[in-house]
Structure 1
Amino acid sequence: MYKSFVAIGIMATITLVGCDLNQQENIKEVSMAELSQQEELKKEEIILDKDEVSDKAESASSDSENKDQNAKEKAENTERASEPETEEPGPEAEEETKSGTAPEEKTEAEGSVATEKETEKPADTFNHYPRGQFAVDGNPGQTVENTTGVFTIEKAKEAGNVKVGPINIQIKNVSLVSGEVTEESIAGISGDKVRFLQVDAVLQNTSDLPIRFFFASTTIGMNGHQLTAHDMFSGRTDGDYTSTTPKNATLVYMLNGDHPPSEQINNITIDITSSPINTETEESVGAGKSIDVSL
């Protein structure tokens, strides 16, 4: 009986042990499955981490490339700005280079002087002044009509040149003129019938000195009469001869009933009374002169 109980106990123990072994195997299998799942999860996390690292690396690489490109462009712009600008040679320069025998280029100063000399007019450039309402041109016996009236040139003569200090005076014409004034505003001053002596001259300062000279003060001696130029009817004149540019002057000397008739006026004397003055020193550099003219 005892042996029977012992045998039963042993069998129960074996059964329990077998059961325990099976449970242990099951638990082991479950544990292994869980470990496998954890390893899979870790692998996925590692892959994700690698992807993130790769993305970050690519982004960093792109940013680095952009920065390098910007730095390169800035360096190129700085280099261009520091380079001196060069002008492309024009067609004329290319032709001169090709010819090999082109003349030397003038300096700016030489070119300026050459241009001034080329454009400078000889004795020539001229200051033209108004000649007055009564001025007429023509030959003896010729009748001339203008806006002032109708005039006849009775006598005329060219007196020639005279020099007063540095002032050269070319008396181109001395005329005895008579006529009728048709311009009412002028006739109210001069009268309808007029006679006058007209003197046309060209004056020029031949020196480098700044000169003041008044040709309008010139008088005319005629048959015992002394005539002065009419302020209103003479042409415009001034005393400024600080340059060598020639200028014209027309002086008109009105005659009236107190003067001899035209046929008796054969000789006159032109008295240049003004003396040229150096405006820097206010000293006279010449004396007046007289010219006898036969009409």
Structure 2
Amino acid sequence: SYKVSLNQLEGSLSNKVRDIGDILLAMIAHVEVSIDFPDHEVDEITYEEMKRDGSLIKKEIENLLSTSDRGKILRDGLNTIILGKPNVGKSSLLNAVLRENRAIVTNIPGTTRDIIEEFINIDGIPLKIVDTAGIRHTEDLVEKIGVDRAKDTVEKADLIIAVFDASIELSDEDYSIIELIKDKKTIALLNKTDLDSLYDEDDLKKLLNGSQVIPSSITTGIGVDILESSIKDMFYSGEIEIDSDIIINNMRHKNQLELALENINSALKDIEALVPLDCIEVDLRNCWENLGEITGDSVSEDIIDKIFAEFCLGK
């Protein structure tokens, strides 16, 4: 299930953070020994070694933080926008995907005047489906607000499902939509292909810079299954860039990683300036504390164990 998948991803995150923590812990242990046991027969850690390990830690933390947007998608749903001019079948598509009548379906253009949001799950992929007001020039103030909001949602979309009516010629409104989405992740539905079509999928594909075009008849259910399969293919192939074995889907974890990054950056700055080890150790310990907030590990106990295990002190 979706919840189980998130729990597995959180477990993978903890394991990855512990791997980073192991490198950091070895650094701290070496620094502690160099400070507290200067006469002990062990090579002191060099600034070059600290720079090497600190840079690796920094890179790994940055890699984890780069997944936070993907984590937001898995937490909040793939932001999927249904877009098109009025009366092309957008609300019918929403109802077909939901398997229920959620949006008002009439033959009156402009019926959907605002944004309708629904959450669905396609074989483990969470989607936030947004049915927008039909995009057209209108003097109706309420409808105009809905159209403006629809245009704004395009900028925030992870995926756009653009619906076109094959039974009538492409209009200026259609061309405006094409211009709006041609550089976005898009799947186009060429609806009403059960009627006499005035243009085909190849024509539309060229206008959309090669985006996939699916012939469909939403009222009879043709094309809906292909659409769902296409969304899955884009998700799992990485075309929609959110597939990852390890993601950050928890804001608290993200905040701790950002703090850890600040502390390791501060330590690296001090290492570069050849600042005394006891000052560098403060930033390293703070970084470890940040990581420990994610894994639940304790800095004092782990450092003591590491020092005794590696350097055989006190034996």
The question of a shared fold, defined as TM-score above 0.5 by the shorter chain, is answered with no
Q: TM-score, normalised by structure 2?
A: 0.24
The structure with the largest strand share of the pair is: 1
Structure with bigger gyration radius: 1
TM-score by length of 1: 0.25
More helix as a share of residues: 2
